[in-house]
């Protein structure tokens, strides 16, 4: 039933339904798995999102979704540089999902030069967004700090995290990292 409803909405031109319908084909949820059909629906979602992005006043969420398509290679050729470009646009529109995704690209050095400081700032922005704070992003930030703790440059990394945290206006307590 969900498959049928999603199909109806996708055929009406709803970009979000197109995307989710493609996800259903990709995973075989309610239908046979079919990557070719999934990619065709992702491509339609891409065109729907770019059309909406061009016409909407608040573009951030569409920019984020376009970046996500590039990041995963859904409906378009996978291109981390293009994903970063679209996420960056969405971040300027204050989209916390894009901040997290762009932070992940900086953390891994995909499509952008690897930069832990930039990744940290973007993770914080996502985790502490005033309207949409997100516990998952906050846990990702904590994982970032813990990873810094476990590396050979542990004291330098602890200092880095403390400085980044202080620069944001917070007063950190990283004493738990020293044990």
* 103 has pLDDT over 50: yes
Please tell me the predicted confidence (pLDDT) of residue 123: 84
Please tell me the predicted confidence (pLDDT) of residue 173: 47
Please tell me the predicted confidence (pLDDT) of residue 171: 46
- List pLDDT tens digits, range 131-163: 655 544 555 555 665 665 555 555 655 565 566
Structure token pair of residue 22: 């493609």
Tell me what the mean pLDDT of segment 44-72 comes to: 96
Question: CA-CA distances (angstroms) from residue 74 to 20, 41, 47, 117?
Answer: 12, 9, 12, 29
Distance of CA 36 to the CA centre of its chain: 24
3-class SS string, 69-123: HHHHCCCCCCCHHHHHHHHHHHHHCCCHHHHHHHHHHHHHCCCCCCCHHHHHHHH
CA torsion sign, 149 to 151 to 155 to 159? negative
Determine the Cα–Cα distance for residues 165 and 121; give it in Å rounded to an integer: 9
Determine the Cα–Cα distance for residues 9 and 6; give it in Å rounded to an integer: 5
Determine the Cα–Cα distance for residues 70 and 131; give it in Å rounded to an integer: 26
**Residues with Cβ < 8 Å from 71, sequence gap 6 or more?**
78, 80, 83, 87, 101, 105
Please tell me the predicted confidence (pLDDT) of residue 42: 98
DSSP label of 29: S
Phi, psi dihedral angles at 151 (to 5 degrees): -90, 165
Does residue 65 contact residue 30 with C-beta atoms inside 8 Å? no
- List pLDDT tens digits, range 119-130: 888 988 887 776
Determine the Cα–Cα distance for residues 91 and 85; give it in Å rounded to an integer: 10
């Amino acid at each position: 039933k969900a498959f049928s409803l999603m199909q109806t909405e996708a055929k009406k031109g709803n970009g979000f339904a197109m995307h989710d319908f493609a996800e259903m084909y990709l995973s075989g949820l309610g239908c046979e798995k079919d990557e070719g059909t999934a990619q065709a629906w992702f491509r339609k979602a891409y065109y729907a999102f770019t059309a909406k992005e061009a016409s909407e006043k608040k573009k951030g969420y569409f920019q984020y979704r376009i970046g996500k398509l590039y990041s995963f290679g859904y409906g378009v050729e996978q291109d981390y540089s293009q994903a970063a470009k679209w996420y960056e646009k969405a971040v300027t529109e204050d989209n916390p999902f894009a901040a997290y995704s762009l932070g992940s690209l900086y953390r891994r050095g995909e499509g952008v030069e690897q930069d832990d400081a930039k990744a940290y700032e973007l993770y914080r922005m996502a985790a502490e967004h005033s309207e949409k704070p997100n516990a998952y992003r906050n846990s990702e930030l904590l994982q970032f700090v813990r990873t810094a703790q476990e590396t050979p440059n542990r004291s330098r990394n602890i200092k880095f995290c403390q400085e980044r945290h202080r620069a944001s206006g917070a007063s950190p307590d990283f004493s738990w990292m020293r044990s």
